[in-house]
Structure 1
Amino acid sequence: MKIKLYMILSSFLSIMTLSSCLDASSLMDKEDVGDLYEKDVFKDPTYARYFVNDIYYSLPKGAEVPGSWSGAYLDCATDNGEARNLESDAQRFNDGNWNAESVPLGGVWSKYYAAIRACNKFLENYDYIEERDGVATRTDLEYLRAQVIFLRAFFYAELLKHFGGVPILEKTLHFGSPELKEAKRATFAECVEYILDECDEAITIFRSVNQDWASNNFGRANDGVALALKGKVLALAASPLFNRPNNYPQYDKEDINKELWRYPVYDSERWNKAAKALKAVIDLGRYDLYKKVNGTKSAYETYFVTRNTVEESIFPFLKGPTIDIYYENLPFNFMLVRGKGSPVCYNLPTQDLVAAYEMKNGMLPEQEGSGFRPLHPFSGRDPRLEATVWHDEATFCGIEFQTWRRDIDSEKPWGKDYIRGYSRTGFFLKKFMDKDLNPTNNVTVPNSYPIIRYADILLLYAEVLNEYYDDPSAVPDDAICWAISEVRARAGMPDVRTTFANRGWELTQENVRKLIQNERRVEFAFEEHRFWDIRRWMIGAETQRVVHEQDIILKEDDKTKEYSVREMEKRTYEDHMNLMPIPQSEINKNKNLIQNWGWSPRVVD
């Protein structure tokens, strides 16, 4: 069979600046260098590398919520944020205005199956790739194979997170083939085991080739990345959404197909399996939290504007130098971004997120004696607040943010950043911006998106241990408190036991659960964890009811400010929204696909 090859100039460019290629299978369908036979293409190790590089481009990159404008993070579909553009698909989540025929994230089904098809294509042709002196040894090629096996597991893990059990396709199927049209969903348990087996196979190969994981291959998969994926998948599988105790009567309506989207019976041992897998990542001794301070930037803040963060970034998607983060998140008319004009502030943190940041002593702002000052609500807070959110009176490049309004009619009734529709919440997103760079100049930021980072492993490890043991104090080596305290210490926050003492809290499973859930919320704000956390914890119906904004009135008489909180938006969230519906277009093409519980029934011809 003749195929056509899409030439990519270099492996670096193929990851960073792929022009119009959406999936690696398209490498076999585009014309540039002429007709070649498939085996001949894969003979050349250079072409094989290009092909694998292209597969990486299907990884999550952050801020990919579709809609009339791009640039919104999934946090805008949680109580953490609001999309400034009300036509964004993030807002459709918030309004409850979505269904199987119109899924805000429906494109991930075709995106990840296209990536899986590319992985299958590579593995089927792997034996044709030739060793060539100065180009690729057999060890180099085995390293490529391990990466592709891992990537296939990763894409299935993403599908699992979205939909539960999905069809497992281990070979290239031509579009329209009967086998593809009749593929059935594997059960949730089968998909979990498949992903774990794939990770184990990749780990074995990675360790046999002994590649340098840190420097030359930063951003590529390795044994540590595969171990981390195992831990995350097992933690996901152990969570209430999929490993459900018998205290969720609202799900009694589920039908006999429930094995497709969860385990039918709760098993506490799943928490323990996740703990062992996560501990294996920690025990590598390879990873640590990023702790380098840069000038006035904290280590936490510096991490997000630094590219070479090999100690914490277990699996990043490396983005090319860009100024887009400023353009997409600074206030409208705040300052011109070189080459782009006025910013558009896609992502707006809510008052609810701001309220989640503790006082620096670990106490909650609302607690008596916490030190919270209503007239200075941002003073004395968890330092991660200042690293994440621009608020009234904050400054950037010598310009002050102004989100106040006056209490009387005036020639200047509001601050320059108050204008309705632009600071709808009273806050702007600061995370991922280097406050020491001026975007009006010819500067770029080498951003990377942390798909998996070490802080996530630590907090997941604490979480699964807390759920497995009834008493946090009974955990060997005080592991729960240690893991959480590591993350808090880097942020400049007190350890768990000091925090609980200051709050007057006992060290109980429920209190530790509250701490972990909030710690994940603030540590990973706008890294798109919250969207999935509230689902696996099954708390979306609580968190996605009402979100709030900050209202600041500048008094005319004494020029002081009065801060208050008011309701900004009511939201809709139902229990079945914990999982995405399989796109109806896919259901219509395959009579064997069974829709997830609570969504519209499949169409039968």
Structure 2
Amino acid sequence: MYLFVFSALFLSGCEKNLDLKPLDALSEATYFKTEKDFETFANQFYLTLPDLGSGDDNADLSMATNRSAISNGSYAPAETSSIWDNNYRSIWQSSYLIEKAGEAPADIKTAIARYTAEARFFRAFAHFDLLKNFGGVPIVDKRLGISSDDILYGPRNTRAEVAAFILAELDKAIPDLPASGPGTDNGRLSKWAALALKARVALFEGTWRKFHENGNNSAEMLDQAISASTEILNSNLFELFDRRDVLGDSSYRYYFLLEGTRKTNAAGLTKAAQRETILARRHDRDISPSPALNIGQGVLSPTRKLVDMFLSKDGLPIEKSPLFEGYAEILSEYRNRDPRMKNWLITPFQKYWLFTQPAYHKNWDNPGAGGIIYDIAFGILTQTGYSTFKMQQEIGGPHGNDYPVFRLAEIYLILAEALFEKNGAITDVQLDQSINKLRTRVGMPSLNNAFVATNGLDMREEIRRERSIELYVENFRFDDLRRWKTAETEMPKAVRGIKWKGTEFEQRLPWSNLVFQLDADGFIVLEAASQRQFLPRHYLRPLPIRQILLNPSLEQNPGW
């Protein structure tokens, strides 16, 4: 028997790559004999981590160039599913390493415990992706062979069984993973990444049980989310990226664009300057470039719903704030808003840097001969009248910025939501220990119970708003709507863009060839409500038809 494995990319702080050459036709009889063998085999697991562009257009806050059948509810059961196939392939690889670790020479068992733990993490990660998409699925905790009929032809495990298996895997992995913080063996798993996954899983399943299963054991799961997130925060190893001292209000946006050696910002900061990332999909512009795009490419167009979520600078929603200036002018709705709005969205007519020469210019208003200034105006590759700025580079590619799989901001959001959903309330002290840290980072006023009561707000909605804004284009929205059981309300709504009728857009850009639908209030409509649906069956995807034909014991999800 021969193994075909490929090593993943891991980058140290100085961007040295480890084991980048493919391993061809390694004999099972001679492999898995040294610590290096296990490390190299484990490297391939990291290629399964999510990356930029992992499905954020499936929900309602952004529209891709091609309409998403997931978003509008027009998809049907398919013969195969990449989600199913890829995750079970990953599970097989992880299970194989765990099996071989049990057979390894006694003198390396302690040394390879870390790689066994990594395999358990990725096996849990894959089962979680299956759980989110399909609900209960067959649990695979060993390498399948011809004698594995109980799994190959057995029924689905229950949702509760799969969730319990995932958390048990992580509990087994955590003690054998290093407790080091950022900057140490960058790219490889730490116990903090395993705790972050545990917190994410427990929040997802806790809220699913609360809103879909009448609270069945939801408190137990929410407690685990609170405990895991609190342990990460108490380590004091991570901190939110905040370099407003040298980058001003644009500081936060550059967190997502930092590279290893190349300067991607006016202050010349690199990856070494941040301690927010807990686990990243690592990239190097020469070896494994990032799929990041340049501004103006317009792959994801933010929707009206996202834009209206951004609070005014006084901390109030736009419908309640006297600071909101309306839509009459192109720039009016951008003024006096949460600074994340200008970090996540390209502001019309704002000047941005387009890098064309190797020399870097810190003076953004006077590029000199080394580059040009690009004037972003309406109509530049946008479907809604808005363009995504978050994670979009201003300098030329290829790019080497990492994609954060887990970062500290998410942990604060998990803690706040889990506390509120478990207790039905959250104290001001708890708010200060969680999401108010995110607001402070961008110069927004803190959230507290008195402010919520005085202004007729809803604490749950404000916590969810904070999550939706903070994690935009990080592939959380569709999962969030489903676990909150609000997808049936939010997803069928019309997808809208800028206000056109009676505004400066109509006056300034009176092009006769512009053809689009407007609603009664004069907003552009990309997809009418009549073109969208979210039925009860859409809370779970259909199992692939081929798998049901191969294993008649597998029952299709309800409604499919």
With over 3 angstroms needed to count, the CA separation of the structure-2 counterparts of 1:559 and 1:524, relative to structure 1, is closer
Q: Which residue of 2 aligns with 1:184?
A: 155
Residue 498 of structure 1: how far off its partner (Å): 8.9
**Pick aligned residue for 1:57 from 27, 44, 47:** 47
With over 3 angstroms needed to count, the CA separation of the structure-2 counterparts of 1:199 and 1:558, relative to structure 1, is closer
Q: Which residue of 1 aligns with 2:196?
A: 228
Q: Which residue of 2 aligns with 1:568?
A: 526
Instruction: Tell me which moved more, 111-120 or 196-205.
Output: 196-205
Alignment of 1:121-520 (within 5 A): 121-127=96-102, 129=104, 139-174=110-145, 178-206=149-177, 210=178, 212-239=180-207, 241-244=208-211, 265=216, 267-293=218-244, 294-296=246-248, 298-306=250-258, 307-308=271-272, 311-321=275-285, 322=289, 324-326=291-293, 330-331=295-296, 343=297, 345-374=298-327, 375=329, 376-397=332-353, 398-403=373-378, 417=380, 422-435=381-394, 437=395, 439=396, 443-473=397-427, 478-497=429-448, 500=451, 504-505=454-455, 511-520=458-467
With over 3 angstroms needed to count, the CA separation of the structure-2 counterparts of 1:499 and 1:59, relative to structure 1, is farther
Q: Which residue of 2 aligns with 1:111?
A: 86
Q: Residue 439 of structure 2 aligns to which amino acid in structure 1?
A: R
Residue 558 of structure 1: how far off its partner (Å): 8.7
- The answer (yes or no) to whether the contact 2:8–2:46 under 8 Å persists in 1 is no
Whole-angstrom CA distance in 1 between matches of 2:486 and 2:198: 24
- The answer (yes or no) to whether the contact 1:45–1:129 under 8 Å persists in 2 is no
With over 3 angstroms needed to count, the CA separation of the structure-2 counterparts of 1:271 and 1:527, relative to structure 1, is same
Q: Structure 1: give runs of 5+ residues left out of the alignment.
A: 22-26, 65-73, 248-262, 332-342, 404-414, 600-605
The CA deviation string for residues 89-121 of structure 1, in whole angstroms up to 9 with x for no partner, is xx1113322122268xx3111101101100111
Q: Residue 589 of structure 1 aligns to which amino acid in structure 2?
A: L
Whole-angstrom CA distance in 1 between matches of 2:507 and 2:391: 39
Whole-angstrom CA distance in 2 between matches of 1:513 and 1:463: 8
Match status 1:39 vs 2:3: no
- The answer (yes or no) to whether the contact 1:10–1:50 under 8 Å persists in 2 is no
Match status 1:77 vs 2:77: no
- The answer (yes or no) to whether the contact 2:343–2:389 under 8 Å persists in 1 is yes
- The answer (yes or no) to whether the contact 2:134–2:543 under 8 Å persists in 1 is yes
Instruction: Tell me which moved more, 293-302 or 586-595.
Output: 293-302
The CA deviation string for residues 173-206 of structure 1, in whole angstroms up to 9 with x for no partner, is 1379634431322111111211111111111222
Q: Which residue of 1 aligns with 2:480?
A: 533
With over 3 angstroms needed to count, the CA separation of the structure-2 counterparts of 1:368 and 1:289, relative to structure 1, is closer
Whole-angstrom CA distance in 2 between matches of 1:113 and 1:350: 35
- Aligned to 1:550, what secondary structure does the other structure show? strand
Q: Residue 352 of structure 1 aligns to which amino acid in structure 2?
A: K
Residue 80 of structure 1: how far off its partner (Å): 0.6
- The answer (yes or no) to whether the contact 1:461–1:480 under 8 Å persists in 2 is no
Q: Which residue of 2 aligns with 1:549?
A: 497
The CA deviation string for residues 126-153 of structure 1, in whole angstroms up to 9 with x for no partner, is 2455699xxxx66542222221122211
Whole-angstrom CA distance in 1 between matches of 2:557 and 2:389: 37
The CA deviation string for residues 389-422 of structure 1, in whole angstroms up to 9 with x for no partner, is 114223323222221xxxxxxxxxxx5x2xxxx4
Q: Please report the TM-score for the alignment, with normalisation by the length of structure 2.
A: 0.81
- The answer (yes or no) to whether the contact 2:8–2:43 under 8 Å persists in 1 is no
Q: Which residue of 2 aligns with 1:69?
A: none
Q: Which residue of 2 aligns with 1:70?
A: none
Q: Residue 148 of structure 1 aligns to which amino acid in structure 2?
A: A
Q: Which residue of 2 aligns with 1:598?
A: 559
Q: Please report the TM-score for the alignment, with normalisation by the length of structure 1.
A: 0.75
With over 3 angstroms needed to count, the CA separation of the structure-2 counterparts of 1:291 and 1:243, relative to structure 1, is same
- Aligned to 1:46, what secondary structure does the other structure show? helix
- The answer (yes or no) to whether the contact 2:196–2:411 under 8 Å persists in 1 is yes
- The answer (yes or no) to whether the contact 2:496–2:527 under 8 Å persists in 1 is yes
Q: Structure 2: give runs of 5+ residues left out of the alignment.
A: 259-270, 354-372, 512-520
The CA deviation string for residues 203-259 of structure 1, in whole angstroms up to 9 with x for no partner, is 1222xxx564432322221211111222111111111x3334777xxxxxxxxxxxx
Whole-angstrom CA distance in 2 between matches of 1:464 and 1:243: 11
- The answer (yes or no) to whether the contact 2:253–2:390 under 8 Å persists in 1 is yes
